[in-house]
Amino acid sequence: MQNQEIQSQFIKDIWSLKIKMKYKLYFEIYGKKMQCIIEANNENDAEYKLRGKIKVLKTEKIIEENDDMLNNIKDLFGMK
């Protein structure tokens, strides 16, 4: 009986372990196709880890000047 309990506990321990596997992910950034290998618990975890590898270093607001308006202002002040 004790032997069966040990085997049962061993099986529970094995199932509770998260076995990591290697996954090859294919992805595309700005039209460039790429691939990488990530060690993860499952496919969803691998995709999540890939997204986590992308780091945004800086974000800047781009202000587009309206050339017509700028030229009109220059005309007013005779700066052309």
Within a domain: 40 = yes
Can you give the pLDDT at residue 6? 72
For residue 61, is it within any domain?
Answer: yes
pLDDT for 4 equals: 74
In this prediction, residue 47 carries a pLDDT of 95
> Rounded CA gap, 40 and 53, in Å?
13
> What total number of domains does the chain contain?
1
4 found inside a domain = no
Other Cβ atoms within 10 Å of 49 Cβ, number = 16
Query: 5 in a domain, yes or no?
Result: no
**How much is the pLDDT for 31?**
93
C-alpha 35/C-alpha 29 separation (Å) is 10
**Residue 6: inside a domain:** no
Per-block average pLDDT, block size 10, for the chain (80 residues)?
71 68 94 94 92 91 70 72
Domain membership of residue 10 (yes or no) is no
Structure tokens at 57: 């270093």
Range of the domain at 52: 18-76
This prediction's pTM: 0.53
